[in-house]
A and B are shown apart, each in its own frame.
Chain A
C-alpha cells in the first residue's frame, strides 16, 4: 500500500508557509504544496487532489473549503472535516492550535496523525508569535493615544505629565475602564470640540 500522502497548505504568508512545509516534510513521507492566493480556492485544491488540506483557522477564506465537504462539491472524492472520531481529540487540539484540517474520508487515522500533529505544533508556534506581535503593536498604539491624552490634559489644566497620567489612571479606576480607553475617549472628545 502506498504510504505517500499529498498535503496542501493554504497560507498567504510565504515564510509561515515554508516553516510549515519544512516541519511536515520532516514528519514523514509527504508531498506538500502551498496555495498562497485564495481566489478560486476550492477549484485550485481540487486540481491537487490532496489527502489533507491544512489552513489557518483565522483565514476567512476557510469557508470556501467547506464546499469540499459537501458531496456534490467540485472535488469528486469525499472530504471530511478533520479525522473521524477514531483520532480522538485531534480535531479539538487542531482547533486550539489554530489549524483546520480537511481530510479525505477513508484515510486511516494513524497515517494522518503524525502529519497533523506536526502541523498543530508548527501552527501553535506561529500563532504564539503572531499574538505577541499583535500585542506589541497594540501596546504601542495605546501608548501613543495615552501620550496625546496626557498632552491635552497638561495643556488644558496646566498640570505636569505625572499629574496628567494620575488623572487618567484615577478616572479609569473610578469608571472601571482601561487607561487606554479613557485616553481614547478624551482624544475623540477633544477632536469633536476643536
Chain B
C-alpha cells in the first residue's frame, strides 16, 4: 500500500509515547500514512514548526493552542487540539537543600497529599521560592499556580521561571531554581543526578489534567480531512496499545533509543510503571496511572478542559473570563474526534463538556454504546470548576 509521509514534531519526553509507538509499531502504515517524527529543541520552536507549516501535526502542551486562541504569546495561527495525547505525567521536585529541611521537620514525603506537601514546603522554604517550569504556557504552570494558591504556599513570594527540561537538574544544582515542575523523565533524572527529591506527582493536584494534545493547524484540518482522520486513528491505536500493561517494557525500550529520548529504559520505566525513586537514597513511591494514554476516555478533547485553562489564563492576564472560555472551547475539537473515530467503534461521551473536578469515583456516563467509564476527576482542594462562558 502506498503511504503518505506526514511530518510530525514532538518533544523528547515520556508522554510523546503515543507518537513514537505509532511509528515503531507500524500503526501509521496500517492507516496508510508514514509518520516522519521530528524532535524539537524547544517548545517555542515546536510551536513555530507547526504554525509555519514545517510539520502538519505536533505533540503540544495543552495550554499552548488555548493561549494562542486568546492572543497570548506572540504567534496567532489558529490551531486545533484534535485529541488529548496524555493525562498527567508531571512531577514536582525540590532541590537537596529544601529536601533536607523537609526531612528535618519530619515531613514524610507521602507523594499523595498536595495540601500537606504545600504546607510542609511553605514551612521549609525561604521567603522567596523559585520554581522552574518548561514553558510559560503549560499545565506545569497551571498546576503549580493552582496548588500554590490553594495551600500555605500562597503566603510565600513564589517566582516561576522557564528552564528547558533537559537543563532542569543543572539549574537546580546551580541554585538558579529551588524547585521544579517538569515532565518525566526529567524529574527522575534530577533524582538520579543527586540534585533533588520528588515531592508530588502532578496527579496529586488534579487527577485528570490534560497534559499534551495532538495539535494541527485549522486550515490543514480543513483541507486534509482524510489525512487528519488517519493520523487520529493511528494515535488512538497507539494509546490503546500503551494502555496494556504488558506493552510497557517494550515501550520503555522504544522510547529510550538514541533517536528518541536517548536515556536509559530504566528511567522511562518509572513513569510508565508509576514506580518512582523519589530521592537519591532510593526511597520508592508508587503512583497508579501516573500518566494515562487511553483509559477513562483520556484522549477525548473535552471543551471544559480548554475552558479551565482559559479561565486561569484570563484571570492572570486581565482578559474577560467568559469570552476567553468561549474562544478556548473552539480549540478542543470534540466534534472532529467524534467524526474521525466513530468508524473504529470508539466509545465517545454524549456530552462535550463535563464538570471538571466533580467525579470522586470512576463513573459510567452516557455514551454512544452506553459502556463508557470516566476516571476519577478531582482537584486536591475538592473544588468543582464551573465554566463562566
Contact = CB atoms under 8 A, between A and B. Distances in A.
B174 A57 contact: no
| Chain A facing B: main interface SS | mixed
Interface string A59-86: 1111111110111110000011110000
A95 B49 contact: yes
Nearest to B49: A95
B44 A62 contact: yes
B73 A72 contact: no
B169 to A, nearest CB: 13
A91 B77 CA distance: 12
Contacts of B167: 60-61
B179 to A, nearest CB: 17
Contact of B41 (A60, A65, A91): A60
A81 B166 CA distance: 24
A102 B174 CA distance: 27
B52 A91 contact: yes
Interface string A79-117: 111100000000110011000101000000000000000
Contacts of B53: 92
B136 interface: yes
Nearest to A81: B74
Contacts of B72: 69-71
A100 B51 CA distance: 13
A72 B141 CA distance: 14
Contacts of A57: 41, 45, 48
A59 B162 contact: no
A92 B53 CA distance: 9
Q: Which secondary structure dominates chain B's binding surface?
A: loop
A87 B162 CA distance: 29
Nearest to A56: B41
Given A66-B73, A66-B136, A72 B317 contact: yes
B213 interface: no
Interface string B71-82: 011110000000
A57 to B, nearest CB: 5
A42 interface: yes
B176 interface: yes
- Indicate the size class of the contact surface on chain A: 20 to 34
A58 interface: yes
Given A62-B41, A70-B72, A72-B317, A42 B166 contact: no
Contact of B161 (A59, A67, A79, A95): A67
A58 B52 CA distance: 16
A39 B44 contact: no
A179 B164 CA distance: 35
Given A66-B73, A82-B74, A72 B52 contact: no
Contact of A66 (B162, B166, B176): B162
A95 B54 contact: yes
A191 interface: no
A39 B134 CA distance: 14
A158 to B, nearest CB: 33
A62 B42 contact: yes
Contacts of A92: 52-53
8 contacts: A58-B45, A60-B42, A62-B44, A63-B42, A69-B72, A82-B74, A91-B52, A95-B54
In the complex, the 8 A-B pairs of residues with the closest C-beta atoms, listed nearest first: A81-B74, A60-B164, A62-B42, A63-B42, A69-B74, A92-B52, A64-B162, A58-B41
Given A57-B41, A57-B45, A69-B72, 16 more contacts: A39-B171, A57-B48, A59-B41, A60-B164, A63-B42, A63-B164, A65-B44, A69-B74, A71-B317, A71-B318, A72-B316, A81-B44, A81-B73, A81-B74, A81-B75, A100-B45
